[in-house]
Structure 1
């Protein structure tokens, strides 16, 4: 429900930043727009202005997240090189999340642009399902289509063993690219 009284853009952006800082789950742009009585495009612009003001906000397929610094309980991270078709994307992501691995992003090395990446923040089969649905609805191409299917994932898990087991499962399926 939109707020009844009009607030300034600066105040709206402050409230958006505060809301993102409080949440541990992504907030959808549409929900932020409805809450503040503005269009989704205004929220997109607000997020851009907040990022320009050094707020560490990331846009994921699930919504916006405030990128918090790691706590004392550091997670293990790794970069995994994979290759598969678009039809195999969900299978690859499900292998990772089934091993307790968070898929933070996907990136490719483009000849002209250098590194291109997209924030994913996929941690469950439900996230994979939503991402697959979004890709289908938007008829979107994979970043990996630019590099003949080869792409990198920054992943995170509670321990190195989870990542190694996920890599082994990807290798078994033929998705892992090895040196």
Structure 2
């Protein structure tokens, strides 16, 4: 196993654990010395992960979030309402994605988490700086939405459905 692959697995193991993961345990699992694990943790931190060392092991200092991908469709005029509907319920619109018949999968980050972000995004669209990605796929597109719980994502899904923005994935 390569060092980079081991570090990916270490991050995954720490992320998925509900209790601190001891370095000694990681060393045993990956058949390396404890010092190699210490060096791996340093490299993982340098890559941007906020790993905290405790006397019981390593933990990831990150808020717990869940994500869901929604397939949606709406007009340009409804775009602001769609985004506000998501952020008002506590969601963050991580990205927008489309599947184009010729160009394939296209994705762009949005990181829209507040009405202020919605306003800034809409100003960029209205100023002509860009046009919505959804326009090249007859308004159909996907959003990855992040929230604090599955219940919040369920509420967002319900509102998108009520407003007729949600598209069924079944034919």
Runs of 5+ consecutive residues of structure 2 not aligned to the other structure: 1-46, 51-59
Cα displacement (A) at 1:139: 5.4
TM-score by length of 2: 0.62
1:86 corresponds to 2:80: no
1:133 corresponds to 2:123: yes
Cα displacement (A) at 1:111: 1.1
Cα displacement (A) at 1:71: 4.3
Cα displacement (A) at 1:87: 0.7
Pairing of 1:16-165 with structure 2 (within 5 A): 71=61, 73-138=63-128, 140-165=130-155
- What is the aligned-residue RMSD (CA, Å)? 1.9
Equivalent pairs counted in the alignment come to 114
The 1-side partners of 2:111 and 2:134 are apart by: 17
Provide the secondary structure at the position in 2 that maps to 1:171. Answer: helix
Provide the secondary structure at the position in 2 that maps to 1:79. Answer: strand
Worse-superposed segment, 83-92 or 133-142: 133-142
Runs of 5+ consecutive residues of structure 1 not aligned to the other structure: 1-65
The 2-side partners of 1:98 and 1:126 are apart by: 11
Call closer, same or farther: CA 1:68–1:147 in 2, change over 3 Å: farther
Per-residue CA shift, 1:95-132, capped at 9, x if unaligned?
Answer: 00001001000000011221111110000001001110
Please identify the structure whose Cα radius of gyration is greater: 2
TM-score by length of 1: 0.59
Provide the secondary structure at the position in 2 that maps to 1:141. Answer: coil
Cα displacement (A) at 1:72: 5.0
The 1-side partners of 2:161 and 2:95 are apart by: 19
